[in-house]
Amino acid sequence: MRDGADIIIGIDAGTSVIKAVAFTLSGRQIASSSTRNTYLTGDDGSATQSLEQTWRDCVTALRGLAAKVEDLPRRTAGMAVTAQGDGTWLVGRDNRPVGDAWLWLDARAAPTVRRLAAGPGNRARFEATGTGLNTCQQGTQMAHMDRHHKELLDHAGVALHCKDWLYLNLTGVRATDPSEASFTFGNFRNRQYDETAIEALGLGHRRALLPEIIDGTMVTHGLTREAAAATGLLEGTPISLGYVDMVMTALGAGVRTGGGNNALSTIGSTGVHTRAKDVADVQLNAEGTGYVICLPVPGVVTQVQTNMSATLNIDWALSLAAGLMAEAGNEPSHADLVARIDGWLASAKPSGIIYHPYISEAGERGPFVNADARAGFLGLSMRHRFPDLLRAVVEGLGLATRDCYAAMGEMPGELRLTGGAARSRALRGMLSAAVDAPVRISAREEAGAAGAAMMSAVAIGAYESMDACIADWVTPLLGEAEAPDAVLAKRFGRLYPAYVEARKVLPPVWEALVEEQARYVPGA
């Protein structure tokens, strides 16, 4: 470590924002800088992002951080990068992009998912990876490309993920990490590629596109001269390739503390529900859904179920209110509406409404996979008003959270929460009651960037182990446990069976509605 180097930088390239965050070696956040991401969506279900622009945005975020932290280049002891997961970022000759990336939001692989899920090798693939098939994944997207867009794979030299692309630009090294490698093409038990999984996807002939797997707590590469010139940082600064953002956020927010394994839900645009487990304790469900994703702790993985949409459902409800208020001559800001949420929820009495929060046009991926799944209310009557609908939406997020943990076994004994929605006491109360367990929130502002930076802290020798790092970076920031409301918990206990029964019988309805919607899409 260089003399005077006392800062670690964590980069978190999310779907909406790229952040660069500076931490002290002991985990105190010093400053952050962010740049908004841009991506394009199409009527065909596509969601794509420019690789070149993503790198430029990362550079902008790092330059912005340097403007806030005095002498940042000299003081930087290490840097790590994490990013949005899944998706396919193809790179060809001279490390140049092969078109735009297919994001995790891209739904074009839905027919391929259905075909592969019905194939004879799918269960063996699931037993290896611990991960169910969905349209978000690089494996299914590449399998779809191999049938319908062969030219993309033919011109590619390597298939990367978002963080891998940024790592390539920072270090010149084509690589991926054990988390995304194992849940896409590998085996979570040995953290290596699995030939059974690759063959089940029909991609054996594309095996050469899979990059080397490296662990950023043990392996670093130096910042290249070109990247140093672009970012303003010093050439040779050790860079760690972080794990996927889901587990980096979970690590930074408390999914593992005191050497023990916990449950953590990230309630943001999507809902990510995570339980840390020793490898030997993982029990795969019969439905073949969810993820098993490695943690940067030897022998420990996270079992994960993810809702395609979480707070996006609330955003949708608020947009309805905003539209109606604007027509009446009052145009509230999004912040104004968010500030009213707790009041609206308090004014709405419990009623017999169930809301399935499947608002994404990509359907749902946890705890079941169905690209046709759509949101909907059940039980509406004339007496219901907007606050009642908003309460049903929030309760729907609680029921979806319970549904995901039920697919992983028993309800957690305690639930840690992170994500912007965790700041709402009303929403925390709903989630606590939904799983009938105390909740605890972390004061960590940027958990994803912190999780990545923790990997760098171990890699450069600031800590001898990840658990030692967790003791300083994570545990002191956990708040007091908030007990569930007993009456509300009983309500969720009554609603949950109806919630599950309804979503099990609705698939034919969803399919018919999606087919009808397709009639009105240009070119369909």
What integer is the mean pLDDT of 435-451? 93
Q: How far apart are the first and last CA of the chain?
A: 58
The proportion of the chain whose per-residue pLDDT surpasses 70, expressed as a percent, equals 99
- Predicted local distance difference test score (pLDDT) of residue 67: 96
Q: Which domains does the chain have, with CATH numbers?
A: 86-160+178-213 (3.30.420.40), 311-435+485-518 (3.30.420.40)
Backbone angles phi, psi at 175, to 5 degrees: -160, 165
Mean pLDDT, the chain, rounded, equals: 92
pLDDT of residue 524: 45
- Determine whether 3 is exposed, middle or buried from the number of CB atoms within 10 Å of its CB (0-12, 13-18, 19+): exposed
Residue 155 has pLDDT above 70, yes or no: yes
Nearest to 79 by CA among 14, 181, 158, 163: 163
- Mean pLDDT, range 299-318, rounded to an integer: 90
Q: What contacts 280, CB < 8 A, 6 or more positions away? A: none
23-64 pLDDT, tens digit each: 999 999 999 999 998 899 998 889 999 999 999 999 999 999
Q: Which residues contact 385 (CB under 8 A, 6 or more apart)?
A: 348
Are the beta carbons of 101 and 49 closer than 8 angstroms? yes
Q: Is residue 25 classed as helix, strand or coil in its secondary structure? A: coil
Q: Across the strands, what pairs with 5?
A: none
**CA distances from residue 43 to 296, 382, 521 in whole angstroms, order as listed:** 39, 35, 7
Of 37 and 92, more confident:
92
Alpha carbon distance 310, 393 (integer Å)? 10
pLDDT in tens, 98-148: 999 999 889 899 899 999 999 999 999 999 999 988 888 999 999 999 999
DSSP 48: E
User: Lowest mean pLDDT: which of 99-113, 231-245, 415-429, 463-477?
Assistant: 415-429
What does the pLDDT read at residue 37? 86
pLDDT digits (tens, 9 = 90+) for 209-241: 999 999 999 999 999 999 999 999 999 999 999
Residue 521 pLDDT = 67
What confidence tens digit (pLDDT) does each residue in 173-207 have? 999 999 999 989 999 999 999 999 999 999 999 99
φ, ψ (nearest 5 deg) of residue 90 = -85, 135
Stretch 238-263: mean pLDDT: 92
Question: What is each CA distance from 509 to 140, 306, 375, 378, 504, in whole angstroms?
Answer: 25, 23, 12, 14, 11
The string over 188-211, giving b where at least 16 C-beta atoms fall within 10 Å of a residue's C-beta and e elsewhere, is bbebebbeebbebbbbeebeebbb
Task: Determine the pLDDT at residue 522.
Answer: 57
| Preceding amide of 522 cis, omega within 30 | no
Task: Tell me: pLDDT of 523 over 50.
Answer: no
User: pLDDT for 483-517, tens place per residue?
Assistant: 999 999 999 999 999 999 999 999 999 999 988 88
pTM of the model: 0.85
Confidence of residue 302 (pLDDT cuts 50, 70, 90): very high
pLDDT at 234: 97
- Which H or E element spans position 497? helix 486-505
Instruction: At 225, give phi and psi (nearest 5°).
Output: -60, -40
**Helices 122-129, 178-185: inter-axial angle, 10-degree rounding:** 160
- Over residues 316-360, the pLDDT tens digits come to 988 888 888 878 878 888 788 888 888 888 889 888 999 999 998
Give yes or no for a contact between 354 and 403, defined as CB atoms under 8 angstroms apart: no
Query: How far apart, in whole angstroms, are the C-alpha atoms of residue 267 and residue 417?
Result: 7
* Cα Rg of the chain (Å, integer): 22
Q: Which residues contact 369 (CB under 8 A, 6 or more apart)?
A: 113, 117, 132, 133, 134, 289, 363
The confidence score (pLDDT) of residue 517 equals: 85
Give the burial class of 385: count Cβ atoms within 10 A of its Cβ; 0-12 exposed, 13-18 middle, 19 or more buried: exposed
pLDDT at 419: 75
As a whole number, mean pLDDT of residues 149-153 equals 97
Sequence-distant (6+) residues with CB within 8 A of 523 are 43, 44
